[in-house]
Structure 1
Amino acid sequence: MKKILVWLIVLICTQPAFAQEPLQAILLVDRPLPPETYLYRVLDLALKNQDRPYNIKIERIDATQPRRVKIVNSSTKDYVLALGSRREHEELLLPIYVPIQLGLGLGHRIMLTRPDVEDRLKGVKNLKDLSDFIFAQGLGWSDVKILRDAGLKVYTPADPTSIPGMLMRNRVDVYPRGLFEIDLEYNRYSPDYPDLIIDDYIVLSYPLASFFYVRKTNKQLYYAIRKGLRKAYYSGQLQDLIMTDPVFSKTLQSIHLDKRVKIEIPFKNVSQKTLSALEEFTFVSEKKVGKAVKH
């Protein structure tokens, strides 16, 4: 009986060593996000590649990007926010410097527009030629400062869902979206705006990445996601997720980046850490699915 009691005491005392509480991650979004979407899947992939059990929840808050940044910064919840790289974001929150789209998505912008504007875009050869167009972006988005600093006219409604209607009413001319957002956005808005089109001629390019962010004090969640993303990248799993994603793979085949006029947009507000991350965690065009990324 005494031996059994001792064994039970030892078992109870050692229980926490092998029964960790699951790590919590609450993905904060501003629109519905089904679990099959890339954003959810890449966070799930990251957490699968770290050591602890985990739970992912999705919380939707209808708020602007600056407001969501404030929510994450001030809340005690285990929020994870996906944002474009921007010094203000990197200063207010804790960024995980592994680009979740490997520099392809936000760093390459394709434009939603209307047919008469696309005819004008056929003549665009350089940045100066774009100064005749009125761009639209959501309030607080990273692109706004980038485009304005490049000398372009940008309109920023508080509700970005109103932009396709503005395009059709000739209030704005072009609506740049990330490479991997363009098909989703077109499919989202074209039923209501059948004259909406995806421009076939131009790609805007600038050193902008999409990172996961957590609040500065949430080091536990930060290190878990960072470890998982790095492991997923070098094992090849992260790029495989892009290459096999039904939306992303279709976009890579249909957008024809190599045939477009590439307009480089100067970007002075990029941090050295972002540039280093884009250089280290890059999309390797010759990599095959299932193969690791060579160090």
Structure 2
Amino acid sequence: MLVASGPLLSAQEPALVRYLEDREEREQRNDYFVDLLRLALTKTEAEFGPFRLQPVYKKVPQGRLLRMLSADETVDVLWSMTSRSREEHLRPVRIPLGRGFIGYRLLVIRSEDREEFAAIESIEQLAEKVAGQGSSWPDTTILRHNGLPVTTSGYESLFTMLRHGRVDYIPRALNEPWAELALRPELGLVVEPTLVLHYPAANYFFVGRHNQALAQRLKRGLELALADGSFEQLFFNHPSHQVMFSKGRFDQRKVLSLENPLLPDSVPLQREALWWKPKTMTESESQ
């Protein structure tokens, strides 16, 4: 997740843009968003002047991070899934950074449960299982809205909870689970190969409500990157995304569609150039 603070400086002095970086983050899941932030700022140097990115090394839960940004405290910009509440308290830059892939969720399960999950054909059947989620993650509300039981905990604890049977699966974004499991081979967990959850969702850059200058710059930079193709190039070629394209096997997965009650009406769903969808994936007939 990313964060930047304070008004932008003059063109004569680099604008400081601060974002959160966890020293203990092992999966490099945020590298793409940092690189996209850098791309947007670079695209706008001629118009807005030079910049300097500064990581803030701190271990902060997502809920606390959102409050820090709202108070213009320590950080200036973050990336996160949008929701009505977040758009009320923060200023969104309404370009979906992951082109919607954050709304596709693969399931991390115990290896011995593969046959049970392969037999699931509907949300009603999945509701017999318990999902593990972070307490401040928007996904928690989305899953519960769709009738799926959820137990919440801290991120690191989720994987051991799954191993010990306190939850049955952990939904993860397409670029996340393989690296996470590679770091925890002793737990005997796997990426479930037959299912994918989907709900409409977007992750945006957010800045503080009063930081209109940074929001304007990021919006302009992302639009320029979309126009010249560099946004798409980064999305498809970023090292952290290669695993989801090579291992996703979307043509072999049943899609279980969920409603997203948190989705603001302002999300630009009709602007097709902003979104990506696995080409061979079909919606589950059971939905």
Q: What's the TM-score, normalizing by structure 2?
A: 0.86
Q: Could you say which residue in structure 2 is the equivalent of 1:95?
A: 92
Q: Which runs of no fewer than 5 residues in structure 1 stay unpaired?
A: 1-17, 287-295
Q: Which of 199, 207, 216 is the equivalent residue of 2:200?
A: 207
Q: CA deviation digits over 1:57-98, x for unaligned, max 9?
A: 111332221111111111255511111111111111111111
Amino acid at match of 1:72: L
Alpha-carbon distance, 1:284 to partner: 8.0
Q: Could you say which residue in structure 1 is the equivalent of 2:32?
A: 38
Secondary structure of the 1:250 match is helix
- Aligned-pair identity in percent equals 26
Q: CA deviation digits over 1:33-75, x for unaligned, max 9?
A: 8699212111111111113211111113322211111111112
Q: CA deviation digits over 1:103-148, x for unaligned, max 9?
A: 12x1110111112322211011111111111101111101000000
Q: CA deviation digits over 1:146-175, x for unaligned, max 9?
A: 000000000111x21011101110111100
Matches of 1:207 and 1:23, distance apart in 2? 34
Between Structure 1 and Structure 2, how many residues are aligned? 265
Q: Could you say which residue in structure 2 is the equivalent of 1:6?
A: none
- Choose 117-126 or 244-253, whichever is displaced more: 244-253
Alpha-carbon distance, 1:20 to partner: 2.5
Amino acid at match of 2:181: Y
Q: 1:111–1:198: 8 Å Cα contact kept in structure 2?
A: yes
Alpha-carbon distance, 1:279 to partner: 4.2
Alignment root-mean-square deviation, CA: 2.2
Q: Could you say which residue in structure 2 is the equivalent of 1:169?
A: 164
Q: What's the TM-score, normalizing by structure 1?
A: 0.83
Q: Could you say which residue in structure 2 is the equivalent of 1:120?
A: 116
Matches of 1:103 and 1:227, distance apart in 2? 20
Q: Which of 139, 148, 153 is the equivalent residue of 2:149?
A: 153
Q: 2:20–2:75: 8 Å Cα contact kept in structure 1?
A: no
Q: CA deviation digits over 1:193-222, x for unaligned, max 9?
A: 2x1111111100001111110101011111
- 1:217-256 equivalence runs, <5 A: 217-256=210-249
Matches of 1:36 and 1:179, distance apart in 2? 13
Alpha-carbon distance, 1:188 to partner: 2.9
Amino acid at match of 1:42: L
Q: CA deviation digits over 1:181-200, x for unaligned, max 9?
A: 2222222333x42x111111
Q: Tell me whether 1:178 sits opposite 2:170 in the alignment.
A: no
C-alpha spacing 1:196/1:142, structure 2 compared with 1 (3 Å): same
